[in-house]
Structure 1
Amino acid sequence: MAGVLWISLASPTFSAAPLSLFLAMSRERMILLDGMKQQVMPMKGESRSLKRKDLLDALYAALPPATVKFGCELESIKLDPKTTRPILRFIDGSSIIAKAVIGCDGAKSIVAEFLNLKPTKMFPLRSVRGLSNYPNGHSFEYELYRITKDNNLVGRVPIDNNLVYWFCPQPNVPGDERIWEDPEAIRQSTLELLGDFPEEIKEMIEIADANSLSFTHLRYRAPWDLLRGTFYKGRVTVAGDAMHVMGPFLGQGGSAGLEDAVVLARNLAQVGLDNVEEAFNLYVKERRMRVVRLSLQTYLTGMVMGTSSLVKRLICIVFLFLLFHNPSVHVDYDCGRL
């Protein structure tokens, strides 16, 4: 399945050195085929796109040996009545008593359920994503490129001289969900939807690696639930999508997860491992309003794209203008250093 992250190198938190193989983007281009209009906007700082697997491999390689145990799927979590330490039980029947738990187990998080967070909700949108390889190189500009026609949109982001990441949000349509387990069904459905798009767009989808094609119902944790949610209990907390899953409309989901990691590690280092609960409390206080604002901006953007109600769309546009009149305000943020 396609997994790509955008990282801004304007922040002092991340070093540019490991990312030097990935080419920089400094602008985004929006093409409106219906009115034959084009808008080019500069990006703040410097951004690069990279495969999620490459980032995970780099982070894993930096860890001491035997730090990570793979193949563990969490089934349940509870607190030991005597020590209040969390007990984790896995689907293979094994269990461990942990000193601390940081749940990064995604939108369907077991740890979030333990914390009694409200269930995630679904946008009226789904997304098809893929990676296309051009063995002889592509001629695309290094920019975030979006093209739209008849309320259909395709985005394209070059990763390097040969590999291109693309995405195509689509309205949710009731039907047999099993068909979307077939990569070729995903490809053909997307090509049919984009029949009037330029040939280079259709070719990009035709040559996409079948193993990279993914179909995803877009989910979010409501901004008002983030405002009131309990994100830690004793020695248990959440981070990443388990805390604040959001639509991909701002390209900030993965970046927000990295911010979580920096803030959490900094607080643990400052107060010490003997005061895990205090570190989690400081972490939640620091992150709450940042993720509320990100979630609200992505929620309003997703509703503008996905709702069939003109009234709802107009209301969301008004709130976006009033609250986020600077559309790139979400990247003007520094989570600090470790």
Structure 2
Amino acid sequence: MEEILIVGAGIAGLATSLGLHRLGIRSLVLESANALRAEGYALALWPNAWKALDAIGIGDDLRRQHKQLVSLVTTSVVSGLTTAELLFGGDHEVRRVDRKVLIETLKNELPGGTIRYSSKLVHIEESGYFKLVHLADGTVIKTKVLIGCDGVNSKVAEYLGLKKPSLAGRASIRGHVEFEDGHGLGQKFLQFFGNGSRYGVTPCDDHGVYWFFTYIPSPADRGIEEEPVKMKKFVSSKLGNIPDKIRDVFERTDLNNMVWSQLKFRHPWDLLWGYISKDNICVVGDALHPMTPDIGQGGCSALEDAVVLARNLADALTWKSSVGMQKGGEEVEHRMIEIGLKKYARERRWRSMKLVSAAYVVGFVQQSDGILLSFLRDKVFAKFLVGILFKMSKFECGKLEDS
């Protein structure tokens, strides 16, 4: 028996558990792997993410380990010219954060025993006011609240009736490289686009550099994901007109430090009409709003979700413990949990729809190689597209406790 069960020990799951922990509420996090999955390279954390990290109490710890970026620069790989540069100033805090550091920081703030490893969800069953969660090892856990943070292919989202994410028609290759003597790139978020591809290069610290490359797969390059040598050669052939120091980032990346993936997203209308929460179940992070990476808000929005959910669920449980159990027992408790999750869903529905839509549109425009759209993008839309990134990151998720 567990009061609150969270499926998935990624960013969303650990942040949700930590938010609840800060409010004095225990949860159990189920992780299908036999150890913490801290793989991956780095992610851009925009102002909205830092506000969420401050709310759960780990913002300053991460700031000490990652330098603040000073600007975002976009460049056409066709002309080689800068199309836009926007400075990060004032309260617009952007840093490229090592995913492993973020995951381990979240985990280390949780009480021992919070995460149960080798715990793969296979089936969810109704049991009165509870849910029975069946695991692959035969264990059955009875819970009052079930929170799905189990990623793009979420079993919890499937149980809620949300449609499976759709393929975006693009693929992504991500990599990381360490420069022993320093990379010399400064602290700028560099983005490049044109010729049907879109990629970015960003320093994590004085030595580490993260890069991503997205493209539209064609029959000619099918299968490169299975052969790192061909993958690296393919990326190098698509870089276009760029400075040698940028090209060197890709050339010096070790074959073992690259990963390929298909880009998926959830259609906005599925978020509009689908269940984000139902009864005593809800979804968070990629399980809720899988999106393309074009505005860098996947991890950021998962952190927002965690704060909003922890606050609303804690409010419901606090009210229940002070009043509800005296007047109706399990029925009232269940009803209050349902109301808390509905409030969370109401707060996150439109925000999720905006993020998914913005990411798709920005990626489509920036990656287009049509003559007219390429001209408009480079000459007219460049600053507008960059401005969308700023606009989407100006969001207040609030504190863990209502003031």
Is the 2:166–2:267 Cα contact (8 Å) retained in structure 1?
yes
Match of 2:326 in 1: none
Query: Is 1:284–2:345 an aligned residue pair?
Result: yes
Write the distance in 2 (CA, Å) between the matches of 1:304 and 1:246.
16
Could you tell me how far 1:56 is from its partner in structure 2?
0.8
2:363 to 296, 302, 309: 302
Is the 1:303–1:313 Cα contact (8 Å) retained in structure 2?
no
Q: 1:181 to 1:22 in 2, by over 3 A?
A: same
Match of 1:70 in 2: 117
Which structure would you say has the larger RCO, counting Cα contacts within 8 Å and 6 or more residues apart?
2
Aligned-pair identity (%): 30
Q: 1:214 to 1:245 in 2, by over 3 A?
A: same
Tell me which protein shows more helix as a share of its residues.
2
Match of 2:244 in 1: 199
Q: 1:152 to 1:177 in 2, by over 3 A?
A: closer
Match of 2:392 in 1: 330
TM-score, structure 1 as length reference: 0.89
Q: 1:276 to 1:225 in 2, by over 3 A?
A: same
Could you tell me which runs of 5 or more consecutive residues in structure 1 were left unpaired when the two chains were aligned.
none
1:210-229 residue pairs with structure 2 within 5 A? 210-229=255-274
Write the distance in 2 (CA, Å) between the matches of 1:313 and 1:140.
27
Write the distance in 2 (CA, Å) between the matches of 1:330 and 1:261.
17
- 1:98 is paired with a residue whose SS is strand
2:53 to 4, 8, 14: 14
1:195-274 residue pairs with structure 2 within 5 A? 197-272=242-317, 274=333
Q: For this pair of structures, how many residues does the alignment match?
A: 333
Write the distance in 2 (CA, Å) between the matches of 1:2 and 1:66.
24
Is the 2:132–2:140 Cα contact (8 Å) retained in structure 1?
yes
Deviations 1:116-167 (CA, angstroms, capped at 9, x unpaired)? 0012111121111000110111100211101235343321110001100001
Write the distance in 1 (CA, Å) between the matches of 2:94 and 2:253.
24
Could you tell me how far 1:186 is from its partner in structure 2?
2.3
Could you tell me how far 1:324 is from its partner in structure 2?
8.3
Q: 1:309 to 1:100 in 2, by over 3 A?
A: farther
- 1:244 is paired with a residue whose SS is coil
Match of 1:3 in 2: 41
Could you tell me how far 1:296 is from its partner in structure 2?
1.2
Is the 1:130–1:165 Cα contact (8 Å) retained in structure 2?
yes
Match of 1:60 in 2: 107
Write the distance in 2 (CA, Å) between the matches of 1:102 and 1:229.
16
Return the letter of the residue paired with 2:65.
L
Q: 1:174 to 1:100 in 2, by over 3 A?
A: farther
Return the letter of the residue paired with 1:128.
I
Deviations 1:51-94 (CA, angstroms, capped at 9, x unpaired)? 111111001000111111112222222212xx241122222333
TM-score, structure 2 as length reference: 0.75
1:180 to 225, 228, 248: 225
1:105 to 150, 153, 156: 150
Write the distance in 1 (CA, Å) between the matches of 2:246 and 2:373.
31
Could you tell me how far 1:175 is from its partner in structure 2?
7.0
Query: Is 1:24–2:68 an aligned residue pair?
Result: yes
Query: Is 1:35–2:75 an aligned residue pair?
Result: no
Deviations 1:230-279 (CA, angstroms, capped at 9, x unpaired)? 11122111000000000000000100000000000011121217432111
Write the distance in 1 (CA, Å) between the matches of 2:394 and 2:270.
24
Query: Is 1:152–2:197 an aligned residue pair?
Result: yes
- 1:17 is paired with a residue whose SS is helix
Return the letter of the residue paired with 1:303.
F
Q: 1:32 to 1:177 in 2, by over 3 A?
A: closer
Deviations 1:272-326 (CA, angstroms, capped at 9, x unpaired)? 1743211111100111111111111112223324567789999x9xxx99x9895
Q: 1:175 to 1:278 in 2, by over 3 A?
A: farther
Return the letter of the residue paired with 1:292.
M
Write the distance in 1 (CA, Å) between the matches of 2:131 and 2:87.
47
Write the distance in 2 (CA, Å) between the matches of 1:104 and 1:211.
28
Is the 1:123–1:302 Cα contact (8 Å) retained in structure 2?
no
Deviating more after overlay: 162-171 vs 194-203 = 194-203
Deviations 1:14-43 (CA, angstroms, capped at 9, x unpaired)? 334212120101311112242342121123
Q: 1:13 to 1:107 in 2, by over 3 A?
A: closer
Return the letter of the residue paired with 1:18.
D
Q: 1:173 to 1:62 in 2, by over 3 A?
A: same
Q: 1:96 to 1:3 in 2, by over 3 A?
A: same
Write the distance in 1 (CA, Å) between the matches of 2:202 and 2:258.
15
